[in-house]
Amino acid sequence: MQYRTIGKSGLVVSEIAFGCGGNAGLMVRGRPDEQLAIVGRALELGITYFDNAPDYGDGIAETHLGRALKTLGVRPVLNTKVEIRKGNLGDVAGHIVRSAEESLRRLGVDYVDMLQIHNGPSRTGPKLEGRSYTQLSLDHFLQPGGVLDGIERLKRSGKIKYAGFICRGNDGAEVRQLLDTGVFDLINVPYTLFNPTAGRGRPNGLTLEKDFGDVISSAHARGAAAAVYSPLASGFLTDDSVAGLPRHELARVYDLESPASLRLRRMARELTFLSRENGCTLAQAAFRFALMHDGVATALGGFSTQAQLEEIAAVSGAPPFSANQMRRLEALWNADFGFSVGA
């Protein structure tokens, strides 16, 4: 396992991180013995960074991770998050403090190394209804009693060391404005073989719903770093997905025959030259791509099984794609994976 430093913070993390979200399902729906065994194996493989959130099973993933770490007697680098919903807007700072304290209790620790805001910044205001937390206005980040105040309270009390936030796409200017405050050391952002715009300019011909505005480079230039989440694009960048095989029983269910899924599976097939020529799986190629960017500190793996964990951990330290492979990849992006010509 290789290690990288999160920007100017000095916090060192493993290139491959252990994600506890619901997509892979282990830390939400797995049995305690499965969780203990796979968390233990991750530590043996050198993984030191564990990413969690209260939203993962309504706190269940935090409780399960805390139990496993206590049993194993270890204290790795821990990240958790805060979701700010419509009902929290009257006291954003207070909610951040209370949410973090509840996470600490579930994890069984006195502090976390990194606390991230699970909402992405928006200039037009929060689009929050029910339990949604996708976006939060810049005003709620920056105004008195807002996000920055809540983070400062937690830092002063020693309950968090560093802070970050999530990027949701089409928000590059807002992300840069938050990074310019100097408060945030880490952004979580998807950076995939399907959509590379978090780490480079938008390819001319690529059809995209969201442009992430090269925010990884922006963070790197400001002394921050990125953690790449969903590098497998919700599991579509895998050999099993290309083959049309069903997901693992713990994983989130997708309709693999829907028009959107069929499009993604076709796109994934076009990328299999990267796995064939590099002697790896498509999932390994996807993680390898994410780690090629100097601004990426770690890539978050979501694991349903120990075999998946070992497959992805083996990517650490792998060389970048060749110049010829990158040219072919860029050609695929510019041709919209063949869809623009009806292929």
CATH number, residue 83: 3.20.20.100
Quick one: tokens of 264? Answer: 């993604």
* Stated pTM of the model: 0.95
Map the chain to HEC letters: CCEEECHHHCCEEECEEEECCCCCCHHHHCCHHHHHHHHHHHHHCCCCEEECCCCCCCCHHHHHHHHHHHHHCCCCEEEEEECCCHHHHHHHHHHHHHHHHHHHHHHCCCCEEEEEECCEEECCCCCCCCCCCCEEEHHHHHCCCCHHHHHHHHHHCCCEEEEEEECCCCCHHHHHHHHCCCCCCEEEECCCCCCCCCCCCCCCCCCCCCCCCCHHHHHHHCCCEEEECCCCCCCCCCHHHHHCCCCCCCCCCCCCCCHHHHHHHHHHHHCHHHHHHHCCCHHHHHHHHHHCCCCEEEEEEECCCHHHHHHHHCCCCCCCCCHHHHHHHHHHHHCHHHHHHCC
Question: In whole angstroms, what is the distance from residue 95 CA to residue 89 CA?
Answer: 9
Please determine, for residue 254, whether its predicted confidence score (pLDDT) is greater than 70.
yes
Please determine, for residue 127, whether its predicted confidence score (pLDDT) is greater than 80.
no
- CA-to-CA separations, 114 to 21, 97, 164, 258, in angstroms, rounded: 16, 14, 7, 37
Please determine, for residue 340, whether its predicted confidence score (pLDDT) is greater than 80.
no
Query: How many structural domains are present in the chain?
Result: 1
Task: State how beta strands 112-117 and 77-82 pair.
Answer: parallel
Query: What pLDDT is stored for residue 97 in this prediction?
Result: 98
Least trusted range by pLDDT, from 125-134, 226-235, 315-324: 125-134
Per-residue pLDDT tens digits for 25-80: 999 999 999 999 999 999 999 999 999 999 999 999 999 999 999 999 999 999 99
Residue 166 near residue 144, CB atoms below 8 Å: no
Query: What pLDDT is stored for residue 341 in this prediction?
Result: 54
Query: What pLDDT is stored for residue 22 in this prediction?
Result: 84
Mean pLDDT, to the nearest integer, of 85-110? 97
Question: In whole angstroms, what is the distance from residue 120 CA to residue 137 CA?
Answer: 8
Query: What pLDDT is stored for residue 343 in this prediction?
Result: 42
Please determine, for residue 92, whether its predicted confidence score (pLDDT) is greater than 90.
yes
Parent domain of 210: 3-341
Question: In whole angstroms, what is the distance from residue 17 CA to residue 1 CA?
Answer: 11
Residue type, 17: A
Question: In whole angstroms, what is the distance from residue 88 CA to residue 83 CA?
Answer: 9
Residue 201 near residue 162, CB atoms below 8 Å: no
Please determine, for residue 10, whether its predicted confidence score (pLDDT) is greater than 50.
yes
Mean pLDDT, to the nearest integer, of 293-317? 97
Query: What pLDDT is stored for residue 153 in this prediction?
Result: 98
Of 127 and 16, the one with more pLDDT: 16
285-296 per-residue burial string, b: 16 or more CB within 10 A, e: under 16: bbbbbbbebebb
Please determine, for residue 342, whether its predicted confidence score (pLDDT) is greater than 50.
no
Query: What pLDDT is stored for residue 12 in this prediction?
Result: 98
Percent of the chain with pLDDT over 70: 99
Please determine, for residue 132, whether its predicted confidence score (pLDDT) is greater than 90.
no
Question: In whole angstroms, what is the distance from residue 24 CA to residue 326 CA?
Answer: 29
Mean pLDDT, to the nearest integer, of 111-132? 90
- Phi/psi at 276 (5° precision): -60, -50
Mean pLDDT, the chain, as a whole number? Answer: 96
Residue 120 near residue 165, CB atoms below 8 Å: yes
Question: In whole angstroms, what is the distance from residue 25 CA to residue 21 CA?
Answer: 7
Quick one: tokens of 60? Answer: 């269940």
